[in-house]
Structure 1
Amino acid sequence: MSRALFVHGANKARVAQFNLREGRAGEVLMQVASVGVCGSDLHYFKDGGIGATVIKEPFVPGHEFGGYLCEDVEELGLTRGQLVAVDPNKACGQCDWCREGHHNLCPNVEFIGAPPFDGAMTERIWAPKSQLVALPESFDALDAVMLEPLGVAIHAVKLAKPRMLERVAVLGCGPIGLLIVQVLKATGAGEVFACDPLAHRRAMAERIGADRVGETAADLIEWSKGGCPLVMEATNSPFGFRDAVTATRIGGRIVLVGIPDGDIYTLPAADARRRGLNIKFARRMGDVYPLAIEFLAAGKVDVRSIVTHRIGLEETPGVLTALAENAPGYVKVLVDLKRI
């Protein structure tokens, strides 16, 4: 019998025994090596759900993970004990959106770690063989975990289509915002301005390469003399959309990546309309795992610098509370589990 972190509802989480279900056709058993605490996991903990995806019974979160195979997967050339990553997004492959290549938008998706599908904050998990991601031998468990959030950042930047040497503003210096800053710098963007209300996150944004870092969107507006042509929003604030609009110049573009607390945006409509803004919403990612692996293998991004805490499973409820309260020092937290 395994142990797992269960989220029961808003601000209710505990570690308890987990009865691992039977495996299904096309699945392989894995020993979880490490799993990241994502902003969406935090929303499940703080709000009891995200939009229509509501916790109706205790469930196990965790979709950013890597682990060790408990058996050979001969059809993929993978062997027992090998470290792999897992793409948590199992799309149906049959709907109009899947046929058009938008697997991240599939309405029939089975997403590991989103209710009602249990995730990887446990010792063992059944994973679809179709979702396994082979890794270079040089990668370790941290690299395996960080491929998923890096993929989200890459997908967001691909949606944004930054122009060569274009100035970009990034709102929010949590893990996704910090990864977006790095991907922008690695792909030819110009000056990257960033802002965040938390001092330790601002300091980290400076360390990983943001050109100027402020506390609020007002700082970005001042530095850009009225707004940037491209703004990428990666906050959890209901005012994130509003702030992104005010930080964007007339005729500019916005990509919204963050999930607001309470699932509500607060936005004066006239500002966005009168600026004639082009606005896109990013959801999860497309087929970018190969590109994320290339970014990491080539040293184009530094994922290790944003991992501030590595904890055990039993510590996770307390850390979720600390993250919900914006405790100083926390950026990216990984929950480490045993290797077979």
Structure 2
Amino acid sequence: MHHALYLHGPYDARLAPYSLREGRPGETLLDVAAVGLCGSDLHYYKDGGIGAATIAAPFVPGHEFCGRLTCDEPELGLAQGALVAVDPNKACGHCEFCERGHPNLCPNVEFIGAPPFDGAMTEQIWVPKSQVVPLPDGFSPLDGVMLEPLGVAIHAVDLAKPRLCERVALIGCGPIGLLILQVLKVAGAGEVLAVDPQGHRQDLARELGAAAVGASVEDVRAWTRGEGCPLVIEATNAPEGFRDAVRAAKIGGRAVLVGIPDGDVYTLPAAEARRRGLKIKFARRMGEVYPRAIALVAQGKVDVAALVSHRVGLDEAAAAFGRHAQNTPGVVKTLIYPNAL
């Protein structure tokens, strides 16, 4: 009998028996090796949905995952037992946005781990072979899981287009923010001024290369003598994240918003953004970035393991959601190992 972690609604996560569906043409079956608890999973847990994507019936979250093939897949050049990552974004491939090269914006997407599509917080999962990402020898399940959030960070930095040695304000040092910090350094950005209210995340930002670390946007303004930074990247879950990104930005600057705010609402005094004449971009998921994510991990240019603060079995997954929702000190990233620790 399989088991899975189900989200029933706000603050209602339960472990229960899970009936594995039949496979479909073009799919392969994986034993789930590990799955990450993502900020968007947490929004489903706290708010019962993200925008129009709401929990209409209990569903299984988990879109950051990797697993082992349960059979040989000659067309993929992979043998039974091979560890693979999975791109959860199954875009339609034929809409206007897919044809323009933006599968992350596809309105017809089937996204593994977003309702109504069950995700990987269970022992086994069927996935499209087209979404399977082979991993290099030596990659661990942790490495495989972290490729998806690293891909989000790469996409955010692609949108930001940091200039060589340009000073950047980073608002939010959760897992995505800390990955963005590292990708910014690889991309040639200058000093990164990082902000987060939690001390343990400030410490991690400092260890991973931030030039200065503070608790609020007021620290950015103090460091820059009230001028702000030419580039700001926001990666928080706070309704005030947009406002803080604006307040950290220099007149004529750019801001990229990556975070999803609690309650799906931004709090923003309009005049501050308008009078700065800011260029604003919103990041959604990612494009075709897995090869670069794999290269960054394989070459040791991004430390993904530093972000993983907790590793639990499937029976502890509901408690892990609770810890993240309460902003428990010391929590950064939880990985769930459904089959074995």
What amino acid maps onto 1:244 in structure 2? A
| Alignment-derived partner of residue 113 in structure 2 | 113
Question: Shift in Å at residue 74 of structure 1?
Answer: 1.0
Correspondence 1:174 to 2:169: no
Alignment of 1:151-162 (within 5 A): 151-162=151-162
Distance in 1 separating the partners of 2:339 and 2:327:
28
Is structure 2 residue 71 aligned with structure 1 residue 63? no
- CA-CA distance at 1:150 after TM superposition: 0.3
Deviations 1:93-112 (A, max 9, x none): 01000000000000000000
| Structure 2 spans left out of the alignment, 5+ residues | none
Aligned 8 A contact 2:83 2:135 in 1:
yes
Which segments of structure 1 move beyond 6 Å, counting only runs of 4 or more? none
Distance 1:204 1:195 in 2: 11
Residue type at the aligned position of 2:119: G
Counterparts of 1:98 and 1:32, CA distance in 2: 29
Give the corresponding residue for 1:231: 232
Matched, 1:41 2:41: yes
Structure 1 segment 119-198 matched on structure 2, within 5 A: 119-198=119-198
Aligned to 2:255: 254
What residue in structure 2 maps to residue 325 of structure 1? 326
State the one-letter code of the partner of 1:172. G
- Which residue identity is paired with 2:166? E
Partner of 2:205: 205
Deviation digits for residues 29-51 of structure 1, max 9, x if unmatched? 00000000000000000000000
Q: Which residue of 2 aligns with 1:337?
A: 338
8 Å Cα contact 2:313-2:339 kept in structure 1: no
Report what 1:288 is aligned to.
Answer: 289
Which region of structure 1 is more displaced relative to structure 2, 69-78 or 27-36? 69-78
Task: Indicate the residue corresponding to 2:312 in structure 1.
Answer: 311
1:237-248 paired onto structure 2 within 5 Å: 237-248=238-249
Aligned residues of 2:62 and 2:120 also touching (Cα < 8 A): yes
For 2:224, give the aligned amino acid.
Answer: S
Distance of 1:265 and 1:83 partners within structure 2: 40
Q: Please, which moves more after superposition, 284-293 or 70-79?
A: 70-79
The one-letter code sitting in structure 2 at the alignment partner of 1:9 is: G
Match of 1:319, SS state, is helix
Aligned-partner residue type, residue 237 of structure 1: A
Structure 2 matches for 1:28-107, cutoff 5 A?
28-107=28-107
The CA RMSD over aligned residues, in Å, is 0.6
SS of the aligned residue for 2:239 comes to coil
Q: What is the CA–CA distance in structure 2 between the aligned matches of 1:311 and 1:206, rounded to whole Å?
A: 26
SS in 2 for 1:43: helix
Task: Please state how far the C-alpha of 1:337 moved relative to its aligned partner.
Answer: 2.4
Structure-1-length-normalised TM-score: 0.99
Separation in 1 of the partners of 2:145 and 2:187? 22
SS in 2 for 1:231: strand
**CA deviation after TM superposition for structure 1 residue 143, in Å:** 0.4
Q: Which amino acid aligns with 2:157?
A: V
Secondary structure of the 2:98 match is: helix
User: Which consecutive residues of structure 1, in runs of 5 or more, have no partner in the other structure?
Assistant: none
Alpha-carbon distance in structure 2 between the residues aligned to 1:211 and 1:301: 17
Counterpart of 2:140 in structure 1: which amino acid?
D
Q: Secondary structure at the match of 1:32?
A: strand
**Aligned AA (2:244):** D
In the TM superposition, residue 133 of structure 1 has moved relative to its aligned partner by 0.2
Aligned AA for 1:22? E
In 2, distance between residues paired with 1:5 and 1:217? 37
Displacement after TM superposition at 1:203 (Å): 0.9
Query: CA separation in 1, counterparts of 2:80 and 2:173?
Result: 38
Q: Which amino acid aligns with 1:101?
A: G
What is the DSSP-based 3-state SS (H/G/I as helix, E as strand, rest coil) of the residue aligned with 1:250? strand
2:64–2:146 CA contact under 8 A, matched in 1: yes
Aligned partners of 2:200 and 2:58: how far apart in 1? 33
Amino acid at match of 1:61: P
For 1:253, give the aligned amino acid. Answer: R
Query: Could you state the TM-score of these two structures normalised by the residue count of structure 2?
Result: 0.99
Structure 2: distance between partners of 1:296 and 1:327:
28
Residue matched to 1:22: 22
Instruction: Return the alpha-carbon distance in structure 2 between the equivalents of residues 223 and 299 of structure 1.
Output: 30
Spell out, residue by residue over 1:265-308, the C-alpha distance to the aligned partner (whole angstroms, 9 max, x if none): 01011111111100000000000000000100111110001100
